[in-house]
Structure 1
Protein backbone atom coordinates (compact mmCIF):
# COMPACT_ATOMS: atom_id res chain seq x y z
CA UNK A 1 0.00 0.00 0.00
CA UNK A 2 1.34 3.41 -0.94
CA UNK A 3 1.86 6.01 1.75
CA UNK A 4 0.90 9.61 1.10
CA UNK A 5 4.05 11.76 1.00
CA UNK A 6 2.35 15.07 0.30
CA UNK A 7 3.35 14.91 -3.38
CA UNK A 8 1.62 11.90 -4.91
CA UNK A 9 -2.10 12.22 -4.44
CA UNK A 10 -3.81 9.07 -3.16
CA UNK A 11 -7.52 9.94 -3.00
CA UNK A 12 -8.46 6.89 -0.93
CA UNK A 13 -6.13 8.02 1.86
CA UNK A 14 -7.36 11.62 1.98
CA UNK A 15 -10.53 13.21 3.28
CA UNK A 16 -12.90 14.30 0.48
CA UNK A 17 -12.51 17.89 1.71
CA UNK A 18 -8.70 17.88 1.56
CA UNK A 19 -7.70 21.08 -0.24
CA UNK A 20 -4.81 19.60 -2.20
CA UNK A 21 -6.95 16.70 -3.39
CA UNK A 22 -9.71 19.07 -4.52
CA UNK A 23 -7.22 21.26 -6.39
CA UNK A 24 -5.73 18.28 -8.21
CA UNK A 25 -9.13 16.89 -9.19
CA UNK A 26 -10.24 20.36 -10.32
CA UNK A 27 -7.37 20.50 -12.81
CA UNK A 28 -8.59 17.35 -14.52
CA UNK A 29 -12.15 18.69 -14.65
CA UNK A 30 -10.86 21.98 -16.04
CA UNK A 31 -9.02 20.10 -18.82
CA UNK A 32 -11.98 17.84 -19.65
CA UNK A 33 -13.47 19.91 -22.53
CA UNK A 34 -10.12 19.89 -24.34
CA UNK A 35 -9.50 16.15 -24.08
CA UNK A 36 -10.03 13.90 -27.10
CA UNK A 37 -8.44 11.18 -29.19
CA UNK A 38 -5.18 9.64 -28.04
CA UNK A 39 -4.25 11.12 -24.65
CA UNK A 40 -1.01 11.27 -22.66
CA UNK A 41 -0.98 12.00 -18.93
CA UNK A 42 2.69 12.60 -18.17
CA UNK A 43 3.64 11.97 -14.53
CA UNK A 44 0.22 10.40 -13.98
CA UNK A 45 0.97 9.39 -10.39
CA UNK A 46 -1.53 7.01 -8.83
CA UNK A 47 -3.79 7.03 -11.89
CA UNK A 48 -6.94 8.62 -10.51
CA UNK A 49 -6.77 11.33 -13.20
CA UNK A 50 -6.45 8.87 -16.07
CA UNK A 51 -9.43 6.99 -14.70
CA UNK A 52 -11.45 10.22 -14.38
CA UNK A 53 -10.68 11.19 -17.96
CA UNK A 54 -11.53 7.73 -19.28
CA UNK A 55 -14.94 7.90 -17.63
CA UNK A 56 -15.74 11.57 -18.33
CA UNK A 57 -14.64 11.49 -21.98
CA UNK A 58 -15.41 7.88 -22.89
CA UNK A 59 -16.91 8.89 -26.25
CA UNK A 60 -14.17 11.35 -27.20
CA UNK A 61 -11.10 9.39 -26.07
CA UNK A 62 -9.63 6.43 -27.96
CA UNK A 63 -6.67 5.66 -25.68
CA UNK A 64 -4.99 7.08 -22.58
CA UNK A 65 -1.33 6.50 -21.75
CA UNK A 66 -0.35 7.30 -18.16
CA UNK A 67 3.42 7.64 -17.68
CA UNK A 68 5.21 7.81 -14.35
CA UNK A 69 8.79 7.14 -13.20
CA UNK A 70 7.94 5.10 -10.10
CA UNK A 71 7.26 1.35 -10.36
CA UNK A 72 5.37 1.11 -7.07
CA UNK A 73 3.09 4.01 -7.97
CA UNK A 74 2.28 2.44 -11.35
CA UNK A 75 1.49 -0.89 -9.69
CA UNK A 76 -0.96 0.94 -7.43
CA UNK A 77 -2.50 2.71 -10.44
CA UNK A 78 -2.99 -0.58 -12.27
CA UNK A 79 -4.67 -2.10 -9.23
CA UNK A 80 -6.85 0.80 -8.09
CA UNK A 81 -7.57 2.70 -11.33
CA UNK A 82 -7.61 0.09 -14.05
CA UNK A 83 -9.67 0.93 -17.14
CA UNK A 84 -9.91 -0.67 -20.56
CA UNK A 85 -8.82 2.54 -22.31
CA UNK A 86 -5.91 3.27 -19.95
CA UNK A 87 -2.38 1.88 -20.15
CA UNK A 88 0.16 2.76 -17.44
CA UNK A 89 3.81 2.86 -18.48
CA UNK A 90 7.16 3.44 -16.80
CA UNK A 91 9.02 6.41 -18.26
CA UNK A 92 11.14 9.49 -17.60
CA UNK A 93 9.60 12.79 -18.69
CA UNK A 94 12.97 14.17 -19.85
CA UNK A 95 14.15 11.03 -21.65
CA UNK A 96 15.08 12.15 -25.20
CA UNK A 97 13.85 8.77 -26.46
CA UNK A 98 10.37 9.18 -25.01
CA UNK A 99 8.75 10.69 -28.15
CA UNK A 100 9.98 7.80 -30.29
CA UNK A 101 8.80 5.30 -27.69
CA UNK A 102 5.32 6.73 -27.20
CA UNK A 103 4.46 8.35 -30.53
CA UNK A 104 2.14 11.33 -30.90
CA UNK A 105 -1.03 12.37 -29.08
CA UNK A 106 -4.08 14.53 -29.69
CA UNK A 107 -4.07 15.72 -26.07
CA UNK A 108 -1.30 15.90 -23.47
CA UNK A 109 -1.90 16.59 -19.78
CA UNK A 110 0.94 17.68 -17.51
CA UNK A 111 -0.13 18.67 -14.02
CA UNK A 112 2.41 19.69 -11.37
CA UNK A 113 5.33 18.06 -13.18
CA UNK A 114 7.67 20.67 -14.61
CA UNK A 115 8.71 21.95 -11.16
CA UNK A 116 10.19 18.49 -10.50
CA UNK A 117 12.61 18.47 -13.46
CA UNK A 118 15.95 20.25 -13.78
CA UNK A 119 15.87 20.58 -17.56
CA UNK A 120 12.45 22.10 -18.19
CA UNK A 121 13.35 22.91 -21.81
CA UNK A 122 14.07 19.26 -22.57
CA UNK A 123 10.75 18.41 -20.96
CA UNK A 124 8.91 20.96 -23.10
CA UNK A 125 10.68 19.76 -26.24
CA UNK A 126 9.50 16.22 -25.51
CA UNK A 127 5.91 17.39 -25.05
CA UNK A 128 6.03 19.41 -28.26
CA UNK A 129 7.37 16.47 -30.25
CA UNK A 130 4.70 14.14 -28.85
CA UNK A 131 1.82 16.49 -29.65
CA UNK A 132 0.17 16.13 -33.04
CA UNK A 133 -0.26 19.25 -35.19
CA UNK A 134 -3.44 20.90 -33.93
CA UNK A 135 -3.21 18.95 -30.67
CA UNK A 136 -3.70 20.51 -27.24
CA UNK A 137 -1.41 20.58 -24.21
CA UNK A 138 -2.82 21.46 -20.78
CA UNK A 139 0.01 22.11 -18.31
CA UNK A 140 -0.01 23.44 -14.75
CA UNK A 141 2.71 24.48 -12.32
CA UNK A 142 3.01 26.34 -9.03
CA UNK A 143 4.76 29.71 -9.09
CA UNK A 144 7.81 30.56 -7.02
CA UNK A 145 11.08 32.48 -6.95
CA UNK A 146 12.23 31.40 -10.39
CA UNK A 147 14.35 28.97 -12.35
CA UNK A 148 17.45 27.88 -10.44
CA UNK A 149 16.25 29.41 -7.19
CA UNK A 150 15.70 27.31 -4.05
CA UNK A 151 12.18 26.38 -2.99
CA UNK A 152 10.65 25.43 0.33
CA UNK A 153 9.06 22.35 -1.28
CA UNK A 154 11.38 19.36 -0.74
CA UNK A 155 10.34 17.58 -3.97
CA UNK A 156 10.60 20.62 -6.26
CA UNK A 157 13.78 21.48 -8.19
CA UNK A 158 12.54 25.04 -8.65
CA UNK A 159 9.29 26.93 -9.19
CA UNK A 160 9.00 29.28 -12.14
CA UNK A 161 7.86 32.87 -11.97
CA UNK A 162 4.65 33.75 -13.88
CA UNK A 163 6.75 35.30 -16.67
CA UNK A 164 9.02 32.25 -16.92
CA UNK A 165 5.92 30.07 -17.05
CA UNK A 166 4.54 32.00 -20.03
CA UNK A 167 7.89 31.75 -21.84
CA UNK A 168 7.63 27.93 -21.85
CA UNK A 169 5.00 28.05 -24.58
CA UNK A 170 6.49 30.39 -27.20
CA UNK A 171 6.66 27.65 -29.85
CA UNK A 172 2.92 26.93 -29.69
CA UNK A 173 0.56 28.59 -32.17
CA UNK A 174 -2.13 29.48 -29.64
CA UNK A 175 -1.78 29.83 -25.86
CA UNK A 176 -4.28 30.72 -23.14
CA UNK A 177 -2.99 31.24 -19.59
CA UNK A 178 -5.30 30.76 -16.62
CA UNK A 179 -4.70 30.98 -12.90
CA UNK A 180 -6.01 28.53 -10.33
CA UNK A 181 -7.39 29.65 -6.97
CA UNK A 182 -8.58 26.65 -5.01
CA UNK A 183 -10.93 24.80 -7.35
CA UNK A 184 -11.60 27.80 -9.62
CA UNK A 185 -9.77 29.02 -12.73
CA UNK A 186 -9.69 32.59 -13.98
CA UNK A 187 -7.90 35.08 -16.18
CA UNK A 188 -5.55 37.42 -14.28
CA UNK A 189 -7.05 40.29 -12.31
CA UNK A 190 -4.98 43.32 -11.42
CA UNK A 191 -3.72 43.27 -7.86
CA UNK A 192 -4.42 39.56 -7.36
CA UNK A 193 -1.58 37.22 -6.46
CA UNK A 194 -1.75 33.76 -7.97
CA UNK A 195 0.10 30.63 -6.91
CA UNK A 196 -0.66 28.19 -9.75
CA UNK A 197 -0.65 28.75 -13.50
CA UNK A 198 -2.46 26.63 -16.08
CA UNK A 199 -1.70 26.87 -19.78
CA UNK A 200 -3.90 25.58 -22.60
CA UNK A 201 -1.76 25.40 -25.75
CA UNK A 202 -2.47 24.38 -29.32
CA UNK A 203 0.35 23.21 -31.59
Structure 2
Protein backbone atom coordinates (compact mmCIF):
# COMPACT_ATOMS: atom_id res chain seq x y z
CA UNK A 1 0.00 0.00 0.00
CA UNK A 2 1.33 3.44 -0.93
CA UNK A 3 1.53 5.92 1.92
CA UNK A 4 1.08 8.86 -0.45
CA UNK A 5 -2.07 10.95 -0.09
CA UNK A 6 -2.54 12.77 -3.44
CA UNK A 7 -4.54 15.58 -1.83
CA UNK A 8 -1.68 16.27 0.60
CA UNK A 9 0.87 16.25 -2.23
CA UNK A 10 -1.27 18.74 -4.15
CA UNK A 11 -1.29 21.14 -1.17
CA UNK A 12 2.50 21.34 -1.15
CA UNK A 13 2.75 21.54 -4.93
CA UNK A 14 0.76 24.77 -4.75
CA UNK A 15 3.30 26.26 -2.33
CA UNK A 16 6.52 24.80 -3.77
CA UNK A 17 7.87 28.03 -5.28
CA UNK A 18 8.06 29.53 -1.78
CA UNK A 19 10.31 26.94 -0.12
CA UNK A 20 13.30 29.26 0.25
CA UNK A 21 11.34 32.43 1.03
CA UNK A 22 11.65 32.93 4.83
CA UNK A 23 8.57 35.16 4.75
CA UNK A 24 6.54 32.88 2.46
CA UNK A 25 4.28 29.88 2.97
CA UNK A 26 7.01 27.96 4.80
CA UNK A 27 7.87 30.73 7.25
CA UNK A 28 7.03 28.49 10.27
CA UNK A 29 9.50 25.84 9.07
CA UNK A 30 12.23 28.44 8.60
CA UNK A 31 11.64 29.62 12.15
CA UNK A 32 11.61 26.07 13.51
CA UNK A 33 14.60 24.83 11.52
CA UNK A 34 17.41 25.88 13.91
CA UNK A 35 15.63 24.07 16.76
CA UNK A 36 15.14 20.93 14.66
CA UNK A 37 18.77 21.01 13.55
CA UNK A 38 19.93 21.35 17.14
CA UNK A 39 18.05 18.21 18.13
CA UNK A 40 19.00 16.25 15.01
CA UNK A 41 22.71 17.01 15.12
CA UNK A 42 23.02 16.37 18.86
CA UNK A 43 21.23 13.03 18.60
CA UNK A 44 23.31 11.94 15.61
CA UNK A 45 26.50 12.98 17.41
CA UNK A 46 25.52 11.02 20.51
CA UNK A 47 24.64 7.87 18.55
CA UNK A 48 27.65 7.85 16.22
CA UNK A 49 30.32 9.56 18.31
CA UNK A 50 30.60 12.66 16.12
CA UNK A 51 32.57 15.72 17.24
CA UNK A 52 30.27 18.66 16.53
CA UNK A 53 33.18 21.08 16.88
CA UNK A 54 34.89 19.54 13.84
CA UNK A 55 34.56 21.28 10.44
CA UNK A 56 32.57 18.36 8.92
CA UNK A 57 31.36 16.37 11.94
CA UNK A 58 28.94 14.11 10.03
CA UNK A 59 31.47 12.98 7.41
CA UNK A 60 31.14 9.28 6.66
CA UNK A 61 27.44 9.13 7.56
CA UNK A 62 24.66 8.55 5.04
CA UNK A 63 21.37 10.32 5.65
CA UNK A 64 17.97 10.14 3.95
CA UNK A 65 15.47 12.97 4.40
CA UNK A 66 11.93 11.71 3.64
CA UNK A 67 9.56 14.48 2.57
CA UNK A 68 12.53 16.77 1.99
CA UNK A 69 10.52 19.52 0.32
CA UNK A 70 12.83 22.27 -0.91
CA UNK A 71 15.82 20.94 1.03
CA UNK A 72 15.71 22.96 4.25
CA UNK A 73 17.33 20.08 6.16
CA UNK A 74 19.26 18.42 3.35
CA UNK A 75 21.48 21.45 2.78
CA UNK A 76 22.74 21.90 6.37
CA UNK A 77 23.24 18.14 6.75
CA UNK A 78 25.37 18.19 3.60
CA UNK A 79 27.39 21.16 4.84
CA UNK A 80 28.10 19.17 8.01
CA UNK A 81 29.70 16.47 5.87
CA UNK A 82 26.98 13.84 5.49
CA UNK A 83 26.12 12.12 2.21
CA UNK A 84 22.48 13.11 1.81
CA UNK A 85 19.59 11.75 -0.23
CA UNK A 86 16.42 13.82 -0.19
CA UNK A 87 13.16 12.37 -1.44
CA UNK A 88 9.72 13.86 -1.83
CA UNK A 89 6.59 12.69 -3.63
CA UNK A 90 5.99 16.23 -4.90
CA UNK A 91 8.10 16.67 -8.04
CA UNK A 92 7.99 20.48 -8.19
CA UNK A 93 9.47 20.75 -4.70
CA UNK A 94 12.26 18.35 -5.68
CA UNK A 95 13.00 20.57 -8.68
CA UNK A 96 13.22 23.60 -6.40
CA UNK A 97 15.54 21.68 -4.07
CA UNK A 98 17.84 20.59 -6.91
CA UNK A 99 18.07 24.10 -8.31
CA UNK A 100 18.84 25.65 -4.92
CA UNK A 101 21.51 23.03 -4.16
CA UNK A 102 23.25 23.77 -7.46
CA UNK A 103 23.19 27.50 -6.66
CA UNK A 104 24.81 26.72 -3.30
CA UNK A 105 27.42 24.39 -4.80
CA UNK A 106 26.09 21.40 -2.84
CA UNK A 107 26.01 17.79 -4.07
CA UNK A 108 22.72 16.31 -2.87
CA UNK A 109 20.96 13.30 -4.35
CA UNK A 110 17.37 14.49 -4.74
CA UNK A 111 14.72 12.07 -5.95
CA UNK A 112 11.02 12.51 -6.70
CA UNK A 113 9.96 9.26 -5.06
CA UNK A 114 8.53 7.71 -1.91
CA UNK A 115 10.06 6.05 1.13
CA UNK A 116 8.76 2.65 0.06
CA UNK A 117 10.26 2.96 -3.42
CA UNK A 118 13.55 4.37 -2.17
CA UNK A 119 14.13 1.35 0.08
CA UNK A 120 14.60 -0.81 -3.02
CA UNK A 121 16.82 1.75 -4.79
CA UNK A 122 19.59 2.48 -2.29
CA UNK A 123 21.72 0.71 0.29
CA UNK A 124 20.62 1.05 3.93
CA UNK A 125 21.69 4.30 5.59
CA UNK A 126 22.73 5.50 9.03
CA UNK A 127 20.01 8.10 9.60
CA UNK A 128 16.49 8.66 8.28
CA UNK A 129 14.82 12.00 8.90
CA UNK A 130 11.03 12.36 8.60
CA UNK A 131 10.18 15.87 9.68
CA UNK A 132 6.60 17.15 9.62
CA UNK A 133 5.62 14.29 7.29
CA UNK A 134 3.72 11.58 9.14
CA UNK A 135 0.66 13.80 9.67
CA UNK A 136 0.33 14.06 5.88
CA UNK A 137 0.64 10.38 4.85
CA UNK A 138 -2.22 8.03 4.08
CA UNK A 139 -0.99 5.16 6.28
CA UNK A 140 1.28 6.15 9.19
CA UNK A 141 2.05 2.55 10.23
CA UNK A 142 3.24 1.62 6.75
CA UNK A 143 5.20 4.86 6.51
CA UNK A 144 7.16 4.10 9.70
CA UNK A 145 7.88 0.56 8.46
CA UNK A 146 9.13 2.01 5.17
CA UNK A 147 11.43 4.37 7.06
CA UNK A 148 12.77 1.45 9.10
CA UNK A 149 13.46 -0.49 5.90
CA UNK A 150 15.88 2.26 4.85
CA UNK A 151 18.03 1.90 7.98
CA UNK A 152 21.11 -0.16 8.72
CA UNK A 153 21.04 -2.18 11.95
CA UNK A 154 21.82 0.38 14.64
CA UNK A 155 20.69 3.23 12.40
CA UNK A 156 18.36 5.90 13.74
CA UNK A 157 15.06 7.41 12.69
CA UNK A 158 14.31 10.98 13.78
CA UNK A 159 10.71 12.12 13.37
CA UNK A 160 8.96 15.36 14.15
CA UNK A 161 5.26 16.03 14.06
CA UNK A 162 2.30 17.65 15.84
CA UNK A 163 0.54 16.26 18.88
CA UNK A 164 -3.25 15.91 18.73
CA UNK A 165 -4.33 18.09 21.65
CA UNK A 166 -6.70 21.02 22.15
CA UNK A 167 -3.62 23.24 22.44
CA UNK A 168 -2.28 22.12 19.06
CA UNK A 169 -5.65 22.85 17.46
CA UNK A 170 -5.64 26.32 18.99
CA UNK A 171 -2.07 27.15 17.98
CA UNK A 172 -1.39 25.17 14.78
CA UNK A 173 -4.82 25.46 13.17
CA UNK A 174 -6.67 28.48 14.58
CA UNK A 175 -3.56 30.56 15.31
CA UNK A 176 -1.11 29.68 12.52
CA UNK A 177 -3.63 29.15 9.71
CA UNK A 178 -6.82 31.06 10.51
CA UNK A 179 -5.60 34.12 12.42
CA UNK A 180 -1.91 34.77 11.69
CA UNK A 181 -2.06 33.12 8.25
CA UNK A 182 1.50 31.82 8.53
CA UNK A 183 0.29 28.82 6.52
CA UNK A 184 -2.48 28.52 3.93
CA UNK A 185 -5.77 27.51 5.53
CA UNK A 186 -6.19 23.75 5.31
CA UNK A 187 -2.47 22.92 5.35
CA UNK A 188 -3.04 20.70 8.37
CA UNK A 189 -5.85 18.37 9.39
CA UNK A 190 -5.93 18.19 13.20
CA UNK A 191 -7.55 14.75 13.15
CA UNK A 192 -4.38 13.40 11.49
CA UNK A 193 -2.03 14.71 14.16
CA UNK A 194 -0.26 11.90 16.03
CA UNK A 195 0.21 11.74 19.80
CA UNK A 196 3.65 10.79 21.19
CA UNK A 197 2.26 7.53 22.57
CA UNK A 198 0.72 6.66 19.20
CA UNK A 199 3.96 7.43 17.37
CA UNK A 200 6.01 5.43 19.86
CA UNK A 201 3.66 2.48 19.36
CA UNK A 202 4.04 2.74 15.57
CA UNK A 203 7.83 2.72 15.95
CA UNK A 204 7.76 -0.28 18.26
CA UNK A 205 5.39 -2.17 15.95
CA UNK A 206 7.84 -1.53 13.11
CA UNK A 207 10.69 -3.05 15.12
CA UNK A 208 12.31 0.18 16.30
CA UNK A 209 13.40 0.99 19.84
CA UNK A 210 12.22 4.44 20.98
CA UNK A 211 15.08 6.25 22.71
CA UNK A 212 13.80 9.79 23.20
CA UNK A 213 10.86 12.15 22.80
CA UNK A 214 11.33 15.90 23.15
CA UNK A 215 9.01 18.86 22.63
CA UNK A 216 9.62 22.02 20.59
CA UNK A 217 8.15 25.22 22.02
CA UNK A 218 7.88 28.66 20.46
CA UNK A 219 8.10 31.74 22.69
CA UNK A 220 5.04 33.86 21.77
CA UNK A 221 6.77 37.26 21.81
CA UNK A 222 10.17 36.51 20.27
CA UNK A 223 8.84 33.63 18.14
CA UNK A 224 12.07 31.79 18.94
CA UNK A 225 11.92 28.01 19.16
CA UNK A 226 13.54 25.90 21.87
CA UNK A 227 13.61 22.24 22.89
CA UNK A 228 11.61 21.14 25.91
CA UNK A 229 11.95 17.72 27.57
CA UNK A 230 8.54 18.14 29.22
CA UNK A 231 6.24 20.12 26.90
CA UNK A 232 5.19 17.90 23.98
CA UNK A 233 1.72 19.39 23.79
CA UNK A 234 2.08 20.85 20.27
CA UNK A 235 5.30 20.12 18.34
CA UNK A 236 7.64 17.29 19.28
CA UNK A 237 10.48 15.11 18.01
CA UNK A 238 11.15 11.40 18.50
CA UNK A 239 14.30 9.31 18.19
CA UNK A 240 14.16 5.57 17.48
CA UNK A 241 16.89 3.04 16.72
CA UNK A 242 16.86 0.07 14.37
CA UNK A 243 17.73 -3.16 16.17
TM-score range, shorter chain: 0.7 to 0.9
Q: Which residue of 2 aligns with 1:138?
A: 158
Residue 30 (str. 1) matches residue 39 (str. 2): yes
Instruction: Tell me the CA shift for residue 181 of structure 1.
Output: 0.5
Contact kept in structure 2, 1:4 and 1:10, CA below 8 Å: no
Residue 173 (str. 1) matches residue 170 (str. 2): no
Q: Which residue of 2 aligns with 1:154?
A: 186
Larger helix proportion, structure 1 or 2?
2
Q: Which residue of 2 aligns with 1:122?
A: 142
Q: Which residue of 2 aligns with 1:74?
A: 94
Q: Deviations over 1:77-115 (max 9, x none)?
A: 11112354411001123x3x4311233110111100000
RMSD over aligned Cα, in angstroms? 2.8
Residue 163 (str. 1) matches residue 197 (str. 2): yes
Please state whether the residue corresponding to 1:168 is helix, strand or coil: helix
Relative to 1, partners in 2 of residues 1:4 and 1:26: Cα closer, same or farther, differing over 3 Å?
farther
Relative to 1, partners in 2 of residues 1:9 and 1:41: Cα closer, same or farther, differing over 3 Å?
farther
Please state whether the residue corresponding to 2:233 is helix, strand or coil: coil
Instruction: Tell me the CA shift for residue 196 of structure 1.
Output: 1.1
User: Unaligned stretches of 5+ in structure 1?
Assistant: 146-150
Instruction: Tell me the CA shift for residue 72 of structure 1.
Output: 1.3
Larger Rg computed on CA atoms: 2
Residue 40 (str. 1) matches residue 64 (str. 2): yes
Contact kept in structure 2, 1:48 and 1:81, CA below 8 Å: no
Distance 1:78 1:138 in 2: 23
Instruction: Tell me the CA shift for residue 143 of structure 1.
Output: 1.2
Q: Which residue of 2 aligns with 1:148?
A: none
Distance 2:188 2:140 in 1: 12
Distance 2:85 2:228 in 1: 28
TM-score normalised by structure 2 residue count? 0.67
What is the total number of aligned residue pairs between the two structures? 186
